[in-house]
Each structure stands twice: as C-alpha cells, then as structure tokens.
C-alpha cells in the first residue's frame, strides 16, 4: 500500500486558498479575479489549485457554504429561554462584528453581482433562507411577549430587519466615513424604532 491522505493538512491548504480568494474577490470582484491571481496570493501553482477545487466557481460555492454554516451554528447555540428581543439584537451585533473584517463587505458586494449562475444563486438563496429561518422564530416570540409590534407579520419584520442590515453593510463597503463603530448605536436605534409596538 501507499500514501494515505491527511485530512488536516488537506483542510489547512483549502483554507489558505479560500482566504486568498476572499481577499482577491473582495478587491477586484469575482469575474475580475483570475485563478492565476488567487494562486499567486496563495503561493501555489495552478495545478495545486485545481487539485483542491475542480472549478473557480466551486471555490466560490465553498466560501458561501462556509458562511451559511456559520449562520446555522450561531442560531443552533441559542437556547429557548433567552430573551427574544435580546437574541435579535445580539445577532445584529454579531453581524456587525463579523464585518469588522473589511474584506467581507467587498466580498458580499462581489458575490451579489454574480448573475445567471444557477448554482451560485441557489447557494445565496439557501444562505438567506437559513438566516431568515434562524431569525424569524425569535421575532415571533418577541411579538408574543409584546416586545415587538404585531401589525406586521413576523416574516415581514424579519425581512425588513435584513433590509436595514443589508443597506448598512453595503454603505460600510462604499463610504469610508461610515464606520461600524460610529454607526452601531444608530443602527440599534433604527431597528428598535422599526420593531417597537
């Protein structure tokens, strides 16, 4: 017999490539990033690249799946006896924290513009579905506890919360004077005003 595969080393290499791709996609967009650029930044040859990912698109899908898993995990850890509104606000803070990595905002912008690729659109749809299904029960519980207005359905409120959050993140990516640290308090205020009964 012969050489076996070491899953740890394999995963480590994968992460190096993913990290390099994240940087490149955030800087120059998906279509604007060549596989050669990713290889250069990751310090590998193209042979190695395609040994780990069969296509450039599969690399993008791997990154998206990574983010979806993180969202799933975050909600899986919540326990039902937490205060509903606090969980919602904690998720806001969590997301803003994640976006302190300035690459993420650029990456989100880059990925949002990948159009006409069914697999990518499906992955994005799954990502928002996981997010909505994680958030909506807490909004519903907050409604039941009269913490949140009930004249709009829990689903619509969830969507509107994500609308505000998306707009916030998009602005972070574009406007250097608009920083998460300086605007987080206003974000909380805007959301609270939107949800108040």
Partner DNA sequence: GCAATACTAGAGCAGTCACTCCAGAAAAGG
Partner DNA sequence: CCTTTTCTGGAGTGACTGCTCTAGTATTGC
Residue with tokens 């949002």: 112
Which stretches of the chain bind a second copy, using CB under 8 A?
27-32, 106, 109-110, 112-116, 124, 128, 152, 156, 159-160, 162-168, 170-171, 174-175, 178, 186, 190, 193-194, 196
Cβ-contact 89, 177 below 8 angstroms: no
36 binding partner (options a second copy, DNA, none; Cβ < 5 to 8 Å by kind): DNA
Number of residues near DNA (by CB under 7 A): 26
118 binds DNA (CB under 7 A): no
113 binds DNA (CB under 7 A): no
Of 87 and 165, the one with the shorter C-beta distance to a second copy is 165
Cβ-contact 137, 76 below 8 angstroms: no
Residue with tokens 């004249």: 151
102 binds DNA (CB under 7 A): no
Cβ-contact 91, 85 below 8 angstroms: no
Name residues contacting DNA, limited to 9-28 (CB under 7 A): 9-10, 13
Give the whole-angstrom CA distance, residue 26 versus residue 174: 12
Tokens of 29: 């967009």
78 binds DNA (CB under 7 A): no
Only one of the segments 39-47, 100-108, 121-129, 135-143 lies at the binding site for DNA (rule: CB under 7 A); that segment is 39-47
Only one of the segments 7-15, 93-101, 104-112, 157-165 lies at the binding site for DNA (rule: CB under 7 A); that segment is 7-15
How many Cα atoms occupy the beta-carbon half-sphere of 90 within 13 Å? 14
Q: Is the dihedral of CA 127, 130, 131, 132 positive or negative?
A: positive
Cβ-contact 10, 20 below 8 angstroms: no
Of 12 and 163, the one with the shorter C-beta distance to a second copy is 163
Q: In this chain, which of 44, 92, 170, 194 binds DNA, going by CB under 7 A?
A: 44
128 binds DNA (CB under 7 A): no
Tokens of 116: 């006409």
Nearest distance, CB of residue 60 and a second copy, angstroms = 13
50 binding partner (options a second copy, DNA, none; Cβ < 5 to 8 Å by kind): DNA
Cβ-contact 131, 71 below 8 angstroms: yes
Give the whole-angstrom CA distance, residue 192 versus residue 144: 17
């Amino acid at each position: 017999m012969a050489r076996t595969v070491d899953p740890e080393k394999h995963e480590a290499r994968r992460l190096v490539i993913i990290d390099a791709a994240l940087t490149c996609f955030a800087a120059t967009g998906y279509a604007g990033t060549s596989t050669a650029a990713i290889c250069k930044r990751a310090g590998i040859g193209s042979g190695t690249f395609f040994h780990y990912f069969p296509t450039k698109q599969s690399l993008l899908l791997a990154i998206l799946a990574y983010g979806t898993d993180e969202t799933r995990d975050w909600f899986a850890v919540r326990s039902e006896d937490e205060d509903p509104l606090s969980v919602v606000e904690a998720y806001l803070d969590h997301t803003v924290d994640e976006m302190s990595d300035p690459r993420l905002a650029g990456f989100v912008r880059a990925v949002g513009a990948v159009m006409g690729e069914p697999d990518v659109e499906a992955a994005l749809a799954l990502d928002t579905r996981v997010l909505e299904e994680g958030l909506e029960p807490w909004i519903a519980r907050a409604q039941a506890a009269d913490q949140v207005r009930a004249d709009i359905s829990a689903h619509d409120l969830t969507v509107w919360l994500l609308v505000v959050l998306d707009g916030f993140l998009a602005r972070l990516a574009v406007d250097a004077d608009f920083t998460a640290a300086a605007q987080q308090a206003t974000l909380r205020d805007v959301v609270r005003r939107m949800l108040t009964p």
